[in-house]
């Protein structure tokens, strides 16, 4: 960003701090908040990316930022003003050790915004606090608490207390900490190629020609890992449907379904359509897949994705899977609505948009959807249940409840499943979040006996 003069302010940083204030008032998905602001701005692609980086960064590290800022503010009540606090967070984020923003720009631009949004009388305070933060930036991690208490872990790993406590209770302290370590790292962008339209060699040549660096996933040759700040706006292969964005974890779950052009497959909660697309690519033309989505806007977006990918063999319906009255299917995929805790590395706002009460509600919906899946799957057919979360209420407890209610189903681990390292002792699959690459997911497959 080009520095402003003393009397000016940076509209890009202004947009970021106002988005953060909107988020504090009503936590909601960050992409929606950012996009609703961007449509009112005439920003370049670079400026839009900077806004996104600032907003995501502050939300991702908020607990750490507040802790470090608090070391230099004697009166915590003075931070009750939402704009004041978010200005400090924005400045402090730009002063973190890995930031590429010059110290002078981080401080001066925040002071200019203080003058714009608040009052000249606060500029000295803001300047002093941020200069103190800058003075300890190189020792940032050493200043964070090292204790084992929930409130200390919450600061160290920049996660909400309810989430830290839930993960420790559900998974044990050591496993919970491994998840927290993964959550604080930004995910790389992962692309899966559409083998119906392009080969690995052709795709790699296209990336090389466009100067996009990549690496292969260690789990699947069709997945390519790109830097999390890669600009995909001009990637022709994405626009033309030769590839699509999908984390490797989702692709692994899709492979629990039996492939084949004659297999009748139902995807109960399909939007945005990534798993249905993966199944169609695996099955080849013609695939016999029905994709349901209850939300009209998400359904429309899913249909556009299928058209872009050339997957016209997927039949889609805007319908609630719980009341769907279609035919029975050989295989049913229930990628159920969930808290998304396993995706916090990509969606850091989840630590504020979700809570224990929401998880309890989601667990009930998941069980209802599984009951419908049991009705919609044919005899000797399989159900694959998956969620991108790690809470017990949405994973093992849902599995145990289903098996108790439906004794005519047996756990069915597919023979020769190549991702056996993720299959747990009871036969369910758990993909732990991996720093920078993999989202956390849970899944199980059951077969209907009669």
Confidence band for 7, pLDDT divided at 50, 70 and 90: low
CB 193 within 8 A of CB 243: yes
CB distance 51 to 23 below 8 Å: no
372-417 tens-digit pLDDT: 999 999 999 999 999 999 999 999 999 999 999 999 999 998 878 8
C-alpha distances out from residue 210 to 169, 187, 308, 450, Å: 47, 22, 21, 54
Residue 6 reports pLDDT greater than 70: no
Domains in the chain, CATH or no CATH each:
11-144 (1.10.940.10), 189-245 (3.30.70.1170), 248-448 (3.40.50.150)
Q: Tens of pLDDT along 45-86?
A: 899 999 999 999 999 999 999 999 999 998 888 888 999 999
Q: pLDDT confidence of 3, banded at 50, 70, 90? A: low
Residue-wise pLDDT tens digits, 336-345: 999 999 999 9
User: Is the model's pLDDT at 105 over the cut of 70?
Assistant: yes
**What number of residues does the chain have?**
450
pLDDT of 192 above 70: yes
For 440, residues 6+ apart whose C-beta sits below 8 A from its C-beta are 179, 182, 249, 341, 342, 343, 388, 389, 390, 430, 431, 432, 433
Q: Report, as an integer, the average pLDDT of 121-148.
A: 96
Q: How far apart are CA 138 and CA 133, in angstroms?
A: 10
**Model confidence pLDDT, tens digit, residues 415-433:** 788 899 999 988 999 999 9
Phi, psi (5° rounding) for residue 216? -85, 145
Residue 359's H or E segment, with its range, is helix 356-376
Taking residues 178-187, what's their average pLDDT? 95
Q: Does residue 358 carry a pLDDT above 80?
A: yes
pLDDT in tens, 151-164: 999 999 999 999 99
* C-alpha to C-alpha distances, 164 to 153, 174, 436, nearest whole angstrom: 7, 12, 20
Give the per-residue pLDDT at 397. 98
- How far the first Cα of the chain sits from its last, in Å, is 64
How far, rounded to the nearest angstrom, does the alpha carbon of residue 78 sit from its chain's CA centroid? 34
H-helix or E-strand spanning residue 293: strand 289-293
Per DSSP bridges, beta strands 189-193 and 223-226 are: antiparallel
Mean pLDDT confidence for 14-34: 97
Mean pLDDT confidence for 339-365: 97
> Phi first, then psi: what are they for 430, rounded to 5°?
-130, 120
Rounded Cα distance, 291 and 269, in Å: 7
> Which tokens in the block code for residue 87?
């200005």
């Amino acid at each position: 960003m080009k520095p402003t003069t003393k009397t000016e302010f940076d509209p890009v940083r202004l947009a970021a701090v106002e988005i953060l204030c909107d988020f504090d008032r009503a936590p909601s998905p960050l992409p929606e908040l950012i996009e609703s602001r961007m449509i009112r701005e005439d920003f370049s692609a670079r400026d839009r990316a900077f806004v996104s980086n600032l907003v995501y960064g502050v939300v991702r590290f908020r607990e750490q930022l507040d802790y470090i800022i608090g070391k230099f503010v004697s009166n915590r009540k003075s931070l009750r003003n939402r704009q004041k606090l978010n200005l400090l967070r924005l400045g402090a984020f730009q002063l973190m050790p890995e930031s590429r923003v010059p110290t002078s720009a981080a401080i001066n631009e925040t002071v200019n915004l203080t003058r714009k949004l608040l009052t000249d009388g606060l500029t000295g305070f803001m300047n002093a606090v941020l200069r103190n933060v800058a003075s300890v930036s190189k020792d940032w991690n050493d200043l964070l608490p090292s204790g084992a208490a929930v409130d200390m872990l919450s600061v160290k790993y920049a996660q909400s207390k309810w989430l830290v406590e839930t993960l420790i209770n559900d998974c044990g302290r050591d496993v919970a900490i491994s998840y927290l370590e993964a959550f604080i790292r930004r995910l790389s962008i992962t692309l899966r190629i559409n083998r119906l339209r392009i080969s690995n060699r052709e795709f790699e040549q296209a990336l090389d020609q466009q100067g996009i660096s990549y690496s292969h996933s260690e789990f699947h040759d069709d997945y390519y890992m790109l830097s999390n700040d890669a600009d995909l706006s001009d990637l022709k292969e994405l626009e033309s449907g030769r590839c699509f964005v999908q984390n490797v974890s989702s692709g692994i779950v899709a492979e629990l379904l039996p492939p084949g052009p004659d297999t009748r497959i139902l995807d109960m909660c399909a939007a945005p359509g990534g798993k249905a697309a993966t199944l169609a690519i695996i099955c080849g033309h013609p695939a016999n897949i029905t994709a349901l989505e209850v939300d009209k806007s998400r359904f429309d977006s899913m249909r556009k994705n299928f058209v872009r990918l050339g997957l016209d063999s997927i039949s889609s319906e805007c319908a609630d899977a719980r009341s769907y009255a279609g035919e029975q299917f050989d295989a049913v995929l229930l990628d159920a609505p969930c808290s998304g805790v396993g995706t916090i590395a990509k969606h850091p706002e989840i630590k504020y948009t979700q809570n224990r009460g929401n998880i309890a509600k989601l667990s009930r919906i998941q069980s209802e959807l599984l009951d419908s899946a049991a009705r919609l799957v044919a005899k000797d057919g399989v159900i694959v249940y998956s969620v991108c979360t790690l809470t017990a209420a949405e994973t093992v407890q849902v599995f145990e409840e289903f098996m108790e209610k439906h004794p005519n189903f047996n756990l069915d681990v597919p023979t020769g499943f190549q991702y056996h390292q993720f299959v747990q002792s009871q036969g369910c699959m758990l993909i732990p979040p991996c720093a920078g690459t993999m989202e956390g997911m849970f899944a199980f497959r059951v077969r209907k006996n009669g």
